[in-house]
Structure 1
Amino acid sequence: MTGRELFPTSDCLKAHQREHLIHEEIERQDADILCLQEVDRLEKLCPMLEKAGYSHQYASGPNKKHGCLIAFKSSLFSLSEHKIVFYDDEEISPDETPMQKVGQSFVTRNISLIVGLQKLDNPDLGITVATTHLFWHPRYTYERARQAGILKREVTRFGQSDALRQGWPSVLAGDFNFTPPDPAYSLLTRTTLLPEHEEILRPSYVVHRSVDPTVPLSPSQPAAADADEGGGVEAQDPDRVITNARMASPSDGLLDSAGLVKLYSESPEAKSAYDATLSRFLQLEPGQEVPIFGSTPEPNIDPTHPGFHEPAYTSYTHYWKSVLDYIFVLKSDKVDTRFTGVLAPLPGNALEPGLPQKAICGSDHLPLVTEVRFNSL
């Protein structure tokens, strides 16, 4: 599908129309650390970042046209080490065959980028930061849960692999492509799956022909499916149904509910900066109107559960309006984490007729910004 078909109400679809808006947003927020996804046109972005005082690390999946980038203030941090996690190659099970060990439902070419940043004024202190862009297809709930579990596990392993980093806080930020009622959100924040989560997961226990080439093509479908955002046969299907796939069998190695819980239990639970901050703000100021996820027409989540106080929207376009992006901090008994502020979320009526818009945001995703203090920094 073309950009105009996906974003019919946008007034800035061309790269040259949107690029300066995104650059200006980065400069205006002036964050110490940036996590960016779907990054391309590095020849334009990197000089801007350098001029603004940032160093950076970039990575992309195999043959991807865009990737993930973490930038950090050169006056505050130095890069001690980085790691790229290729989700398609990561094992999640000790089973014997390679296919069972990986246990994936789709070859997506998605990655995560992890960096260790040392403080210049005290190299013993620092922070582990990871960014990612999980698989986009709405129906592949299991694959996103698998990828998010791998992300949390690998960030934890990265932090534990060096004695210096073991006392550093760990931050996960990016486009997770799921909403708060999603099984992966519950697994990240509580390491639990409720019966309703299992119902959501069940239809996604499939194996795509990108994993098993013997799977026959669905009727009237092209031979290739592109796993990039908005690309391939699934993106052309208005219902976003699963095509070119078969139901999974035990020999495929996909993790059941107990297996997913075990994967997530290997690393600490995650705490959302926005969910924690907005929840606390509304407790202190109960009369305030804040556009949170729980105030949207169909939140489908208990007010006492994590995720209810996420922003109402982090992506708002003509066709979809959703919460897809998060900033998480892994819980630790060595680091005291205090969220002291977030960039206020915008209500839906301020985002009409849908992003990107010259007067609002140069991206179809809104920026998330948090101020956080760690006792080790």
Structure 2
Amino acid sequence: MTITEAELTLPHDIQQQQSKHKVGSDVIPPILESETAKRKGAKKGKKARGNLDPEHIAKVRAEREAMRKSKQEAMLAQGLDPDLPPELQFIRRPLLALSKAESTAGFEFKIMTYNCLAQALIRRKLFPDSGEAVKWFRRSKVLLNEFKYYDSDVICLQEVDRIQFQTFWKEEFDKLGYDSQFHAKPSKNHGISILWKRSLFTMTDKMLIDYDKEISGNIPPRTTTNNVGLVLALKFSPKVLERFPNTRKSGIIVGTTHLFWHPFGTYERTRQCYIVLNKTKEFMHRVNVLQNNNDEIKDHWYTFFGGDFNSQPFDTPYLSMTSKPVKYSNRAKTVIECSTSYTFSKSRDGEEDAEDEEGGNIEKFGKDQPATPVPSFFDASSEQQSLVANMEKLHNSLDMRAISLYSVGYGTVHIENAGLDNTRGEPEISNWAHAWNGLLDYLFVIKSWDFSDKIQVDSLKKFEDENELKVKAFLKMPTKAEMGKFGHGQPHVGEYPSDHLSMICKLELKL
């Protein structure tokens, strides 16, 4: 047996390893031996499996299926979709029905309002815990899955990116059977949108609202805000009218808005709420004249308004719309009086001398600005008191009011989260960001006001009887305690794709 020169150059341990595989003058490479062993093992395994008891195989399969079902049930219990990958999951909240037994005799539809978070507004410092959840390529898919899952018939959206609407949302919603309208100031890269299922409605009129240009009695805007509103007349489609051939109802009027966001903007937001009611009244009259021959019948159309009002149920914007006649007091009065003491920068109005304001920008460097938007006490001057009194008079002069759908009915399906921090029966939150949380979003019914006492929340029965509709269900809203368990703000992978939560009400209209 001869040792080759090549073997002489190999380390001693490798020479020993190779010598183990010599048979006569032939060498069996280690890799070949490994393959041979694998084949022998495979044969043994095949033979062993062939000898397994069929009952044992069935038992193993049953255990695996039980584990799969258990995992699926656990995900469903958490509101997750077992068919979606982890990065596209969102918490699926149930619709809480008011009554399961009653049959449907009228026209049922679901209306949603949702601030879906403009991509243009995302900054890492505002969403430090959100990670990949804020990336558009992922978040857009989660949002789309959410819209598909809830399958609302009318959708009011806020913070819709102009570019994304044109390049993504319009086409995707069209595939799902929706028509749409978008509105934003030219100077802003995001706006608002209303979508509706074309099988149920046809748009017959629209109104664009620019709060900076709208008149509000003798109260001028406090600053330029670039906020807008959108109101549409959606006539019932032929398909709907075939089911209700004798109805005198024409359709629904629906509006949406996103009011001024600034912490010290309470006074301006309260003014904008007046415009919401006044312009809706104007639009209702116009539609009646143009589409119902001005027959003076006021109930051809149901009127709804959903949006992000950047106000809580104990603030003057909300109270000015829903509690009539309005009389500001306690916290609400303190906050609105404080807001009148705040001076906004001229740069918001595009004025050239804005840089002359106390070192460049009075909002940043002003010496006499209030320290907090919600002080425990505020000593208002006579001028500030007069401004607030004039706002009360403005709202009380208008024969219109709003009724919050969640306010009148949510307590019947989720008493644990109705009126926890307010006297209006509203849920605790619709916004859960890194630095703040609270209720900012609402679904309203808008109607005329006869100047009688409407300070308290209407009972559900009275509301339904007076408005010829039935409230069928509400989308469940989580409490602060539930959201607090996450330990971070939204959006977040596997939870919610926006820092706001959508709100949905299912209604039955008497046609």
TM-score scaled to structure 1, two decimals? 0.80
Using the TM superposition, give the Cα deviation of residue 345 of structure 1 relative to its aligned residue in structure 2, in angstroms. Answer: 0.7
The one-letter code of the counterpart of 2:188 is K
SS of 1:184 mapped into structure 2: helix
More displaced, 213-222 or 56-65? Answer: 213-222
Verify: 1:372 aligned to 2:492, yes or no. Answer: no
Show the counterpart of 2:40: none
The one-letter code of the counterpart of 1:193 is K
Show the counterpart of 2:473: 341
More displaced, 107-116 or 160-169? Answer: 160-169
- 1:277–1:340 contact (8 Å) kept in structure 2: no
Show the counterpart of 1:279: 411
Show the counterpart of 2:54: none
Which of 182, 199, 211 is equivalent to 1:87? 211
Which of 412, 417, 438 is equivalent to 1:291? 417
The one-letter code of the counterpart of 1:152 is L
SS of 2:124 mapped into structure 1: helix
Query: What pairs with 1:11-90 in structure 2 (closer than 5 Å)?
Result: 11=131, 12-40=133-161, 41-42=164-165, 43-90=167-214
- 1:114–1:129 contact (8 Å) kept in structure 2: yes
Over residues 280-320 of structure 1, what are the superposed CA-to-partner deviations in whole Å (9 max), with x where a residue is unaligned?
336xxxxx6x334x33xxx3x4x3xx2xx212110102211
Show the counterpart of 2:323: 190
More displaced, 31-40 or 257-266? Answer: 257-266
Which of 434, 441, 446 is equivalent to 1:318? 434
- Distance between the aligned counterparts of 1:190 and 1:269, measured in 2? 8
Q: 1:248 to 1:111 in 2, by over 3 A?
A: farther
- Distance between the aligned counterparts of 2:393 and 2:441, measured in 1? 22
SS of 1:69 mapped into structure 2: strand
Using the TM superposition, give the Cα deviation of residue 279 of structure 1 relative to its aligned residue in structure 2, in angstroms. Answer: 2.5
Query: What pairs with 1:98-113 in structure 2 (closer than 5 Å)?
Result: 101=218, 103-113=220-230
- 2:122–2:134 contact (8 Å) kept in structure 1: no
- 1:137–1:240 contact (8 Å) kept in structure 2: no
Using the TM superposition, give the Cα deviation of residue 338 of structure 1 relative to its aligned residue in structure 2, in angstroms. Answer: 2.7
SS of 2:338 mapped into structure 1: helix
Q: 1:141 to 1:343 in 2, by over 3 A?
A: same
Percent of pairs identical after alignment?
A: 27
Verify: 1:359 aligned to 2:494, yes or no. Answer: yes
TM-score scaled to structure 2, two decimals? 0.60
The one-letter code of the counterpart of 1:18 is R
Q: 1:263 to 1:194 in 2, by over 3 A?
A: closer
Over residues 234-276 of structure 1, what are the superposed CA-to-partner deviations in whole Å (9 max), with x where a residue is unaligned?
9xx9x7779xxxx9997x9x95334444335414221111111
The one-letter code of the counterpart of 2:183 is A
Structure 1: state its 5+ residue gaps: 94-100, 226-231, 283-287
Verify: 1:114 aligned to 2:248, yes or no. Answer: no
Q: 1:14 to 1:264 in 2, by over 3 A?
A: farther
Q: 1:291 to 1:124 in 2, by over 3 A?
A: closer
More displaced, 27-36 or 163-172? Answer: 163-172
- 1:59–1:84 contact (8 Å) kept in structure 2: yes
- Distance between the aligned counterparts of 1:248 and 1:78, measured in 2? 52
- Distance between the aligned counterparts of 2:129 and 2:359, measured in 1? 30
Using the TM superposition, give the Cα deviation of residue 161 of structure 1 relative to its aligned residue in structure 2, in angstroms. Answer: 1.4
- Superposed CA RMSD in Å reads 3.1
Structure number with larger C-alpha Rg: 2
Q: 1:249 to 1:133 in 2, by over 3 A?
A: farther
Over residues 189-217 of structure 1, what are the superposed CA-to-partner deviations in whole Å (9 max), with x where a residue is unaligned?
11312322222211222553245956775
More displaced, 212-221 or 42-51? Answer: 212-221
Using the TM superposition, give the Cα deviation of residue 109 of structure 1 relative to its aligned residue in structure 2, in angstroms. Answer: 0.6
- Distance between the aligned counterparts of 2:137 and 2:482, measured in 1? 24
- Distance between the aligned counterparts of 1:119 and 1:60, measured in 2? 27
Show the counterpart of 2:128: 8
SS of 2:417 mapped into structure 1: coil
